Amino acid sequence: MNNSTVKITFLGTGTSSGVPMIGCNCAVCTSADVKDNRLRSSILVNTPDFTFVIDSGPDFRYQMLRTKTNTLNAILFTHPHKDHIAGLDDIRAYNYLMKMPMNVYANAMTNEALKKDFYYAFAEHKYPGVPDIILNTIDETPFTIGNIHIQPILVWHHKMPVYGYRFNDFTYITDANRIDDDQKEKIKGSKVLVLNALRREKHISHFTLSEAIALAEELEIPEVYFTHISHQLGIHEEVEAELPAHIHLAYDGLVINI
């Protein structure tokens, strides 16, 4: 395990529709608190000599611009839903700036979806200027990118297998409503856990707030942040006040160091 400091920036902490949601006039969607504005879920990971993101959703271009991220070495994908992959085309800018292809790491199902959705990037005869991508197919076997050792964690998004990732005692899990016991063992001992908590009401494929709290307590993680939040959860400040002292709602732009 690499011991150098890793900087984590939450690029987005919202669910698939983002917050505010188009056409909604609820208290959350009309809130003046910037913490209630949530782009689609993603994090930026910076080490002294390597930078990657986990997921590149529809807001990827704006997320990179507002964090002034001018170098990017790799993208890790959790699963193939559009709110996590739709921004991949915008890696063209990094191809140009860094004069190299973008390494992408994902399971076989997600890589097949990428080849279908961004077919022009994988054509035999490519149009000039299309994204230059190297697909790396991963499974639950640990792997290394840059100087970071990555442990994939298999979780379930209803019936869809989704990958969370653990590195440097930090675990990131989004789009899940079930985690098997053998995968929980991979999370235990983490100092920081990021976990999805969609809303208060039961959902077919996401943890609710109470379910996420219960899992965090079961795993005995000392510092926990919830992400992939919908407008149905409530006002950020009010929900934050309800949570145990070691559990917080993440928000766009939040930075933690591990």
**Each residue of 203-242: pLDDT tens digit?**
999 999 999 999 999 999 999 999 999 999 999 999 999 9
Enumerate the H helices of 13-136 as residue ranges: 60-66, 82-85, 92-98, 108-117
**Alpha carbon distance 69, 62 (integer Å):** 10
Residue 5 confidence (pLDDT): 87
Total length of the chain = 258
Determine the average pLDDT of the residues in 171-195.
98
Enumerate the H helices of the chain as residue ranges: 60-66, 82-85, 92-98, 108-117, 181-187, 209-219, 236-242
Determine the average pLDDT of the residues in 7-29.
98
Q: Is the pTM of this model over 0.75?
A: yes
Q: Is the pLDDT assigned to residue 1 strictly greater than 50? A: no
**Alpha carbon distance 195, 204 (integer Å):** 16
Q: Name the amino acid, one letter, at 177.
A: N
Write down the domain spans for the chain.
Answer: 7-257
pLDDT per residue as tens digits for the range 87-136: 999 999 999 999 999 999 999 999 999 999 999 999 999 999 999 999 99
**Alpha carbon distance 202, 230 (integer Å):** 13
For residue 164, give both structure tokens: 């969370």
* Structural contact between residues 223 and 246, judged by C-beta atoms closer than 8 angstroms: yes
Provide the 10 A C-beta neighbour count for residue 139.
Answer: 10
- What's the fold here for domain 7-257? Metallo-beta-lactamase; Chain A (3.60.15)
